Amino acid sequence: MRVLFSLLCLMAAATQAFASDAPPSEASIRRLLTVTESRKLLDNVGDSMDASMDNAMKAALAGQPMNEQAQKILNEMKTQLLAVMKEALAWQDLEPLFIDVYKRSLTQSEVDGMIKFYESDAGKAVVRKMPLVMQNTMQLMQERMKSIMPKIVQIQQEAIAKTKAAAAANSSGGVGGGAPSPTQ
């Protein structure tokens, strides 16, 4: 009888352990997405892209003056890019993807623990301050990009020059002129 009781206790403990490794429910994932304010965070990313694009275009132009027509073209491009990004980041399209990823990546006990954390004061502070952390990180990354932009431009210019030289060599028949080699 004791052996049977011990086996039943062991089975109950194993069932509990396996239950905690079960995939999370859709309802619990939705709760996690709500307490982490994921939708709001995604909206903030979309809003910050506008400023990021402005900064990137300024950096790419490196102080070169633009006429009104060129500025209009760049503004239209930015508007189109923002529309594409806004469409790609639409919550109604991404939420099911997030739910699927969370289901495949996390267990129910992990989601429960995350919900508990994000409902705590510390978790609420993380959610509240994450946009600021992201903004500061973006500024830091933009500064880093400014410092390497001259190197990137140099590499691009060298590649363009090499490409033009290779095209000119091919059009003149390669080294020594004459007929193209069998590999051309």
What pLDDT, on the 0 to 100 scale, is given for residue 57? 76
User: What pLDDT digit, counting tens, does each position of 3-37 carry?
Assistant: 434 433 444 444 454 555 899 999 999 999 999 99
What pLDDT, on the 0 to 100 scale, is given for residue 78? 87
Contacts of residue 133, Cβ cutoff 8 Å, sequence gap at least 6? none
From the list 77, 72, 71, 69, the residue with the least C-alpha distance to 53 is 77
As to burial, measured by CB atoms within 10 angstroms (0-12 exposed, 13-18 middle, 19+ buried), residue 2 is: exposed
Q: What's CA 162's distance to the chain center, in Å?
A: 33
Which is higher by pLDDT, 161 or 52?
161
What pLDDT, on the 0 to 100 scale, is given for residue 126? 94
**CB 57, CB 78: distance < 8 Å:** yes
**CB 24, CB 107: distance < 8 Å:** yes
Most confident of 88-97, 100-109, 175-184: 100-109
Across the range 60-87, mean pLDDT stands at 86
Which is higher by pLDDT, 94 or 177?
94
This prediction has a pTM of 0.59
What pLDDT, on the 0 to 100 scale, is given for residue 158? 93
What region, left, alpha or beta, does residue 180 occupy, with left being phi > 0 and alpha being psi -120 to 50 degrees? beta
> Is the model's pLDDT at 125 over the cut of 70?
yes
